[in-house]
Structure 1
Amino acid sequence: MTRQEEQGDAGRRVGRRRGALKAVGLTLTGFLVLGTAAAGYAYWHLSHNIKSVDINSALGDDRPAKAVIAPATAAAPLPTGSLNILVLGSDSRSGKANQELGGGDSSGARSDTAMVVHLDAGRTRATVVSIPRDTLVTRPSCPLASGGSTAAAYGAMFNSAYAVGGPVCAVKTVESITKVRMDHYIEIDFSGFAKLVDALGGVDVTTTQNIDDDQSHLHLKAGSHHLDGKQALALARTRHGIGDGSDLGRIGLQQMLVKALLEQMAATNLLTDPAKLYRVADAVTASLTTDTGLDSLGELTRLGQSLKGLTAGHVKTVMMPVVTAPSDHNRVIANEPAATRLWASLR
């Protein structure tokens, strides 16, 4: 082979290598573009899953004062101030999934579960206060999205606020009876809760008594159990198979379940399993309604990141102090002055 032929052959080999490298580069670029596009779509999809209500605009300035929160800085980019969040579990029957889990009429909804979550300054400790849905309260007049307002009601069941005026009235009623500003609002429905538990791989709970509730279709022997989403929802809703069948017994189960879910989330390292992380995020956001301050994946992520120092062991669960209502032994009223002292501690 002549020198000229050798040079030509070497040139062709270099050309082929360059062509191969170019192909690999284009392929990698393609994967990066597809990955970026997929990530962008996932972010868009999760954010658009979330429904929101502009509670601040609806209620205006006639509310308890906001807590003073120091702005984020370069040294502390995440918020660290105290925060109060009203968390509702809705028994909405809208949609096939909710009807299958909840049954009943497909129209209307009530706040089946209500908790005020107070995050201490620094956000390493929290107090979760459950409000019994059977509590008789003074329900204030609430603005309606369609215009006008609801009538004030005296001696009304607490969960009727959501039924007559939705999230806005639920927040206004809670602020009226607690004198505590609700900085945020989060609502999740039946199917969303069940899907969240399933996406986490179930949840471990320990019951101290047998549970036999034909209405929630839950039958458990006392002891430890691994529950799937449908079973966990039944546990959160059961009331007739425990204690005196009142809402107060159910609250104890709900609070136990909240702590169990926090422990399950801590034990599941979602950041190392993007597929599971997406399933959990999709399950939560698809059934979530928030105030407009939390209606994007970015805002929810910032809230979650600000809680990275919070563990289940530093979450205190209590119930608003109540006593049997004199007018109806099936209802309760706030036990004063204990209830007022509890709410004052959260301001």
Structure 2
Amino acid sequence: MEEHSFWHQKKVFITGHTGFKGSWLTLWLTSLGAQVTGYSLTPVSSPNLYEAANISELCTSIQGDINDYSSLLHAMTTHQPEILFHLAAQPLVRPSYKEPVYTFATNVLGTAHVLEAARQTKSVQVIVNVTSDKCYQNDGLGRRHFKEYDPLGGHDPYSASKACAEIVSDCYRNSFWDGGVSSHPVLATARAGNVIGGGDWSEGRLFPDIVRAVTTKTSLSIRNRRAIRPWQHVLDPLQGYLQLAEMCLGNRQYAEAWNFGPISQAHVTVDEFIRLTSDHWSEPLDIEYQSSDHTSYEVPILTLDSSKAVQQLAWLPKLSIERAVEWTVAWYEQYQAGANMRLFTQQQIKAYIKGEGV
């Protein structure tokens, strides 16, 4: 623990702390001495990082739904956080076609619940609302990397819901927190790429699908082998969220949208990503390519321009796509070997902070 860090004894509230990103963020913040309160549903997948690393022992954990405003408000006003990270969401594209109303309720109205609860909690000074790189109006042609000022939109329910979450955030910022000492908190939104890292077992995500194929010795089913995504290790955007929160404290100029995408060479196709993963895994992959699925739509190309965060926040991704894959494979191999996954995950966080092996 770094006793003299910015985060030492900071009171932090994380929605969605039992999720993949939320679990990594909780581990990171508690290692820096933050007092973390988490508010979330129980983990969706089994296994999951939250339970594999026994994260409940490190924080005050509240089981709750952001759609339950009264419970959320009670939790926030009781624990009086200084900094709020909003990560709770329905986080996947394909399930959003099956449950569009739930997706909009959670990602849009749920965001409004979180922001309103924060407005009623006078201790809150900073909010980082984590949305998605898919919030942009994307024709799928890949003609340019998306910048923060590009139009919002969404072909599928998930992407549209995240665009709406950005609009809700901008509304709260302009309506209630546009300046003045009494107008806390400072609200920023963060848009990251396709994250990978140890402890993700979500259905329909490429790396967890690879893990399942390897561990169960079954074929890996691929929908779109030529799709291009901004792949990155989870620690890179989390570093951005932490830096953004630090910069926002007492400084309203950072109350904007921010991209935290990978370096340019990490924008690779699904085929290339699978090849990279196969190079680091000892067992070969049996790949089955699906025919086109017309019941749902995912854009073929999505890339981000993160130069704003690089220039104004001094943020820079540390892990190349090769290193990101290597660290992720190493995590799952340790898990399969029965290692202490809290310790190993904390070791990866420590190595990342110190720049070891990156």
Task: Give the structure with the larger strand fraction.
Answer: 1
> Quick one: higher RCO (CA 8 Å, sep 6+), 1 or 2?
1
Name the TM-score, length of structure 1 as normaliser: 0.23
Bigger radius of gyration among the two: 1
